[in-house]
Structures are given as structure tokens and as C-alpha cells.
Amino acid sequence: MQPPSGLSPPPPSSPPADTLASAAIETPSLPDTPASLDPDTPFSDAAPVDASDADTPALAPTPDGALASASDAPGDGEDDGITNPSSGSRKHMTLAPPATATKKSKKKGGNSVWTRPTSRKGKKKARQPGGHGPGGGASSAHPGPNAGGDELCQLVPATRLAAERNDDAATQPVLLSRFFKSERIEVSDDRLTAASTKGYRMVRATRGVAAGAWYFEVRVVHLGATGHTRLGWVTNRADLQTPVGYDAYGFGYRDIDGAKVHKAWREKYADEGYREGDVLGFYISLPDGERYEPKQPDLIQYKGMPFHVQVPKEEQKVPAPVPGSEICYFKNGVCQGSAFKDIPGGRYYPAASMYTLPNEPNCVVKFNFGPDFEFFPQDFGGLPIPQPMSEVPYQALEVKNEGPAENGIAEKTS
């Protein structure tokens, strides 16, 4: 049956123009892509023209405490293509059409096992007392360690276990790691000098500390016209494809203005920065820190194969802070003041990240783990006198023979 000639299908409904405009105004600014997701996008402390951000103002935290993006600040005149609610539209933004439905691809990481470290079998773990840190319950002056028993874990096959085991040995001193570093970092034959170009990436030492007071030095060997560094302390959860201080697991000291960096925020710290030829000292104090170090195993055996225990970033809980803990930085033997206090529990490693523009000589730093330092401080201002990092004992990489709980049921292993 034909419809009457005077009738026609109604046009497809579309939202009014003012609705689209209001939606564009409410669109938030998007963060930069981290280097770990886009290896070709480097972190940079250099402006696009003169390769220096010395005149770039430090970022200040927003009222809601949002984290800064991977790079410190955009270059002058950059347009992110997003509507600015305070100053009107910068540039028209078009919305991409919805993606066409395709056949579901195989889940990435098919060889991994998702599990939880607890199970229904065996004795139930006692509830840990809470604290003032994230994940704490009732307030307590001295909370217990963060065991991470309720976190969802991913078991990733340890395909490079042999290389990881060869990274350190009882007969070796503390050195820079050949395993726990970005592929863009070059380590010297004596494993005390690190160099990098293009984008901020990280390398850390083979041994870390969870308790006590410790110290090491770094000499800035070469910066050049475009080189920059961020040096300091990181835990084993820090992202090696980012600069020191990018996430919650690193505490950095910046060359340009002597700022301190944590969670990608730069804050005023030293009166001035440091430059090529300076010797920097790095102090950390973790009183009774072993009580606050996460106890979750890093390596277990499952179905006869070694697996690394990894917690997805969205599931990670920052450990409770260590009361009385502190980090200080020194320049040529002079203390620059207290940088961080009551830092989260964990095992902290000396670390460095370097940057230069492409086609420029590498930025180079040299570590000195002691005991013979160039500028060992004579006064620590009442803080515990540190031990040199060279005295950190070797810890063998142990594969724990435990079966994780999969789907709520623990698998028994021999």
C-alpha cells in the first residue's frame, strides 16, 4: 500500500545547536599521552624554540587536586583543540563518528592469569589496622604494613627471569640495573654512568632500601644546551618510561630551577638549580620502614612456571606513610632543605632520568654509591646519619612456591 503523496518520512532527530555548544563548553582538557603508551612522544623540559623552560612558570595544583600531565607545561602558543570554558572557544572541535562494530579481538595478554593473592582455603588473614594513608581504616598513629591482600593481581610469565637474576649477585657491588631501565637509557660498562637522549626515561639501581637512613651521590657529567635531568628515589612500582617523580612512587630533584617533583607536580624547593659539573647528594630516612613495605610477593611459581605478580595501576593502593620518614637533597655538600616527609612505605632505589633534544649529545650522569663520596655532608641537621648505598646487602631473587587463588580456589603447588 503506497502512502499518500502529501506525506513524507519525518527528518531524523538532531539536538539543537545550543545543546552542542554547551556540550563543547563542558568538555574537559585532555592530558598528554604518557610516554609508556606512546614511545615516540618524549617527556620534555624544553620549550619548542629555545630548548629551555627556565622561564616557564611551575604548575600549581588545581582546586580538585587533579594531577598534571606527563609534560610540565605546553609551549607558548600551543592550542589543544579543546574549548576553554573561561575564555571562550579556541578552535572548533568536531566529534568523530562512532566506530563501526568489529569482531571482538583476542584479549591482550592471553598468557596472563588474573587472580587474587587470598583464597578460601587456609587460615583467614587478620585485618590490618588502618591509618592516615590511602586504604586505611580506623585512625592509628602507627598503622600496619599495606599487604595489598585485596588487590586484583595479574600473573605475567617471567620470560626474562634469567636476565633479571643476572642483574645482581652477591659478589657484585650496588650498580645501575641493566634490567630495570628503559630501552632508551644507555649504561656504561662499569654500570655507574647513565646517558639518554630525546625523551625522559628512567634507570634505577640494582638494590633498594626499605628502612634506615641511606645516601648516594650523582655527578652531572654533561647537560649541553638542551640537556635536563630529574634525579632521586623511586620504588619498584615506578614507571620506567617516565621521569623520576612522574607518579606516586617517585620523588625527583629537577635541574632547571631546583624544584622538587612528585606525582608530576613541580614545587618550589631549592633557591637555584644545578648544572653540569655539580655533585648532588640524595638522603632518605625510613624509621621502622620495614613495617610499612608492601609484603606482596613479586615472583611466584604457578603450574610449574615462574610468574611476576603485577597489580593493575587502577587497582594499586599507595602504601601507608612511614611516620618520621624524610628525603633531603644536597648540592656540593650543602643541604637544600627537607624535600618530602612521611613518604609512603616501600623499597626505594636510586634513580635517574635524562632528556635532550634529538640529534644532540647524550645527557650523562655518574652515580657514586659510596663509601668514598666527593661531598659527604658534615651536618644532617639532627637527622640520622646515613649509611652509603654501597652497604646495602644483596637479596637473592626468590621464586616463592605458592599457588594463587584463581576464581576463589587456591591451586596447590609442590
In a domain, 414, yes or no: no
Statement: the pTM of the whole predicted model exceeds 0.85: no
**Cell of residue 337, nine digits:** 632543605
pLDDT surpasses 60 at 176: yes
Q: Is the peptide bond before 323 cis (omega within 30 degrees of 0)?
A: no
**Which pLDDT value is given to residue 60?**
44
In a domain, 26, yes or no: no
pLDDT surpasses 70 at 233: yes
In a domain, 371, yes or no: yes
Instruction: Convert the pLDDT of each residue in 331-352 to its tens digit.
Output: 999 999 999 999 999 999 999 9
How many structural domains comprise the chain?
1
Q: What's 334's domain CATH number?
A: 2.60.120.920
**Which pLDDT value is given to residue 47?**
45
Q: How much of the chain, in percent, has pLDDT values that exceed 70?
A: 58
In a domain, 270, yes or no: yes
In a domain, 58, yes or no: no
Which CB contacts under 8 angstroms, 24+ apart, belong to 374-378? 374/217, 374/219, 374/279, 375/217, 375/279, 375/281, 375/330, 375/332, 375/333, 376/215, 376/281, 376/333, 377/281, 377/283, 377/330, 377/333, 377/334, 377/335, 378/333
In a domain, 54, yes or no: no
Q: How much of the chain, in percent, has pLDDT values that exceed 90?
A: 45
In a domain, 208, yes or no: yes
Q: What is the mean pLDDT of residues 190-196?
A: 96
Instruction: Convert the pLDDT of each residue in 360-395 to its tens digit.
Output: 999 999 999 999 999 999 889 999 999 999 999 998
Between 66-75, 139-148, 403-412, the lowest mean confidence (pLDDT) is in 66-75
In a domain, 300, yes or no: yes
Helix (H) or strand (E) holding 19: helix 17-25
Parallel/antiparallel/unpaired status of strands 387-388 and 212-222: parallel
**Which pLDDT value is given to residue 350?**
98
**Which pLDDT value is given to residue 101?**
53
In whole numbers, what is the pLDDT of the chain averaged over residues? 73
Cβ atoms of residues 207 and 392 within 8 Å: yes
Q: What is the mean pLDDT of residues 281-297?
A: 90
Instruction: Convert the pLDDT of each residue in 18-62 to its tens digit.
Output: 544 444 444 343 333 344 444 444 455 554 444 444 443 444 444
Q: Which domain holds residue 345?
A: 176-393
